[in-house]
Amino acid sequence: MEQKQIADITNAFPSFATIPADEWLRSGVSVERFFPQLAMQEGHLFSHAAFVLRGTVRIHKISESGREVTLYRVKRGGVCVIMMASILGETGYQASAEIEENTEILLLSVERFKEWMDLYKPLRQFVYQTMMKRMISVTTLVEDIAFKPINARIAQFLLSRTSHSCTTLVMTHDAIAIELGTAREVVSRTLKEFEAVGWLQLGRGRITAIQRADIEQKFGL
């Protein structure tokens, strides 16, 4: 592995800065490029730990009924904590991973990853801190799904994906439903209700003229 490549890795993951230069030349360490695709399905047993250097990987869960919900996305400098838990616990993957855009990933063989986890404290701290932060975000997602009204969740989603300077969201109702873990019909019905009171305008594959102030006031967001 070239020095420039190592520098890019440590820039994205400062916890790797303490890894000696000769360690990067050992087997089981590589940087690979991937194109958009379904990368991992539930039950997968990992042979490598993946660290995202650029691009985006969507982590999602599919219920027995076929309903899908996005748990989180992993971007530069991030890892999938469910993957980490699967590797450390030596169990099958409890989610699915989809590469959404051209993505570059540092791959460490499970053997090398566990060895480095034992030897280098900064890496170990990074993994456990990331797991804790992500656990909190997923817990919040589960609470929202269980307890927050769907119209409030959709309103919050619209606000999170737009701004005062850009009040258009290019996204299908199907895609919104997947993000929120609900049915497309529920999303469509709620958006039509929002349109009826003048909070937005619906178009093919897009939502325009989103009235952020009105939505914020109505839902206290």
CATH code of the domain containing 157: 1.10.10.10
User: For the residues 96-117, what does the mean pLDDT come to?
Assistant: 96
Residues contacting 123, CB < 8 A, separation 6+: 15, 16, 18, 19, 116, 117
Residue 1 has pLDDT above 90, yes or no: no
Residues 136 and 118 in one domain: yes
The count of domains in the chain is: 2
Residues 107 and 163 in one domain: no
Do residues 134 and 78 make contact, with C-beta atoms less than 8 angstroms apart?
A: no
The pLDDT, as a whole number, for residue 41 is 92
Residues 134 and 59 in one domain: yes
Give the tens place of pLDDT for each residue, 120-132: 999 999 999 999 9
- Which of 111, 146, 181 is the last residue before a domain boundary? 146
What 3-state DSSP class applies to 52?
strand
Q: φ, ψ for residue 180 (rounded to 5)?
A: -100, -5
What confidence category does residue 16 fall into, taking pLDDT thresholds of 50, 70 and 90?
very high
Residues 160 and 54 in one domain: no
**CA–CA–CA angle 149, 82, 175 (5° rounding):** 45
Residues 18 and 119 in one domain: yes
Residues 102 and 209 in one domain: no
What confidence category does residue 181 fall into, taking pLDDT thresholds of 50, 70 and 90?
confident
Residues 134 and 199 in one domain: no
Distance of CA 136 to the CA centre of its chain: 14
- Which of 146, 166, 186 is the last residue before a domain boundary? 146
What confidence category does residue 67 fall into, taking pLDDT thresholds of 50, 70 and 90?
confident
The pLDDT, as a whole number, for residue 142 is 85
Residues 76 and 185 in one domain: no
Residues 16 and 111 in one domain: yes
Give the tens place of pLDDT for each residue, 78-92: 999 999 999 999 999
User: For the residues 103-111, what does the mean pLDDT come to?
Assistant: 97
Residues 134 and 166 in one domain: no
The pLDDT, as a whole number, for residue 140 is 87
Residues 25 and 13 in one domain: yes
Domain that holds residue 8: 3-146
Do residues 49 and 113 make contact, with C-beta atoms less than 8 angstroms apart?
A: yes
What confidence category does residue 151 fall into, taking pLDDT thresholds of 50, 70 and 90?
very high
Helices (H), 28-149: 81-89, 110-119, 121-147
Residues 85 and 165 in one domain: no
Residue 64 has pLDDT above 90, yes or no: no
- Which of 115, 146, 177 is the last residue before a domain boundary? 146
